[in-house]
Structure 1
């Protein structure tokens, strides 16, 4: 386990591009990875929420991860999202991610039953013991039974079970408490999953950010976080305004779609627009983007790039 797997800065939670027959679109995936690395992101997350983790079969997750690892070729670390209904599922997924070349595993709590703090601790201990790459906890209450308690995270960090955490709770107060509670643990890294509070992440003490909008304009995310960390709040705020404009893609209506389907479709379409790729689809059961949706997202992207 090395610190290289836990970089300071922007880690992009990649969208997944697939062909019409459901296979990984290797050409589009390669273009996306190169787009990220050229912009200066410090890491890549495969099979996160933005990567439609909950909709992909195990073989599909492995195919995407292998394609990203192959293209990245060691230039930046690659994390793999790991989830399961229970601990046994998570261990299997974590071992497969390690075998596919992941540098670190971003592990969710058990997804079916709520668990006590002691049971949560045992879950993460078991997964960490099963693999030889760093384990980060994925704190995302919208996808799991509850938020991870800060005292539990501190305990597992001090044990060396957890090497980091991605906080996608949206609770900045809890985020500040997390950073303060773990700052004494050497090598423990904290990341904020956010779109328009990237500068605040740096001020609160996070080591990095994991913004879905970085799929589209990764350079803006890099500039925001780096400017904030270097003590240039004016430059950070100006770069952040690009993302504030771009955030409008999440409000584009798509008949029959829930918020997750609309948001992920918007980010995928916007990324394709920037890279001059055909508009991609989403994974079942998500509603597919229609022509009006693609046109509206494209218009917002173009305005965000020129303003």
Structure 2
């Protein structure tokens, strides 16, 4: 499938269901994909943060990419993370996921080694030169410890290196600079600007963003698609109410006790617990060494689902 230019709508970062032994649970993964497609999503993003890509082996990443692209066929575009520390390793992932059938790749800045903006630009240019599919930048400073400057993103977009941006930086001013800069630049066409926020989708769309990549959309794809459609229709009062419902639902990520687990364990554990409670996946286990939710914490996730009308 050719990725629409720009890609719009809700593109969930697909969770990776695992067996109790820590292997990819392909039947659950495909049920999750069907759950998302039934919700009306515009695309799927596998092997990102919500997919636990950092915890998966290269073999497991390939299993995920092949399973999802093979199941979806050409129904919606599949974006796949090619996320690693250096350009050569990223190019290995690009080769793997595109051979599996991915329609675009999503790439962070390099990490571990400290990088200069010139090196980040070189990383994206080399990746785009050798990728057979479009490259979407992933701005994730919390994990890669460098921020993609708006001016660099726009420069790479204008020269055709980047086809889009998934912004999970939390920098609303920088995000707005990309949105307005892409709209105003005569050399930028078909560039997708997507927010990774669960909580500010209505605000991002009001700014002019093309769509959203919210992890919580795994749990409630229908809710996010409805929010997107309300924003596109200009019904901002109803959109605000839909966003506030989703903000309340997102409270499930606080079910985990911060004294004994990190925010990633709590959030991914909550998403998977919710999917298990909804009957979508067989097992809510997260990859090691993440700390699992307790039965009491899972019960609190269930209360969030019930309050949102999802149980």
TM interval, shorter chain, is: over 0.9
Q: How does 1:12-23 map to 2 (within 5 A)?
A: 12-23=12-23
Could you say what secondary structure the match of 1:4 adopts? coil
Structure 2 portions without partners, runs of 5+ = none
Aligned to 1:232: 235
Q: How does 1:214-229 map to 2 (within 5 A)?
A: 214-229=217-232
- Counterpart CA distance in 2 for 1:100 and 1:2 is 15
- Counterpart CA distance in 1 for 2:46 and 2:172 is 24
Deviations 1:130-160 (A, max 9, x none): 1110000000110112110111111111110
TM-score normalized by the length of structure 2? 0.94
Deviations 1:53-111 (A, max 9, x none): 11111111111111111221211111111112111111111111111111110001111
TM-score normalized by the length of structure 1? 0.96
Deviations 1:203-224 (A, max 9, x none): 1111010111100110110111
- Counterpart CA distance in 1 for 2:250 and 2:88 is 37
Q: How does 1:52-91 map to 2 (within 5 A)?
A: 52-91=52-91
In the alignment, is the contact (CA less than 8 A) between 1:13 and 1:46 conserved in 2? yes
In the alignment, is the contact (CA less than 8 A) between 2:199 and 2:246 conserved in 1? yes
In the alignment, is the contact (CA less than 8 A) between 1:279 and 1:294 conserved in 2? no
Aligned to 2:97: 97
- Counterpart CA distance in 2 for 1:253 and 1:73 is 37
**Aligned with residue 202 of structure 2, among 199, 207, 223:** 199
1:257 aligned to 2:261? yes
Which consecutive segments of 4 or more residues in structure 1 shift more than 4 A? none
Could you say what secondary structure the match of 2:206 adopts? helix
Distance 1:276 1:58, change over 3 A: closer
Higher mean C-alpha deviation, range 178-187 or range 250-259:
250-259
1:295 aligned to 2:299? yes
Aligned to 2:135: 135
- Counterpart CA distance in 1 for 2:279 and 2:234 is 32
- Counterpart CA distance in 2 for 1:306 and 1:21 is 29
Could you say what secondary structure the match of 1:136 adopts? strand
TM-aligned CA deviation for residue 277 of structure 1: 4.1
**Aligned with residue 243 of structure 1, among 235, 246, 249:** 246
Aligned to 1:267: 271
TM-aligned CA deviation for residue 44 of structure 1: 0.6
Could you say what secondary structure the match of 2:141 adopts? coil
Aligned to 1:115: 115
Q: How many residues align?
A: 307
Could you say what secondary structure the match of 1:236 adopts? helix
More relative contact order, 1 or 2 (CA 8 Å, 6+ apart): 2
Could you say what secondary structure the match of 2:11 adopts? strand
- Counterpart CA distance in 2 for 1:226 and 1:276 is 24
Could you say what secondary structure the match of 1:49 adopts? coil
In the alignment, is the contact (CA less than 8 A) between 1:5 and 1:104 conserved in 2? no
- Counterpart CA distance in 2 for 1:263 and 1:5 is 31
TM-aligned CA deviation for residue 20 of structure 1: 2.0
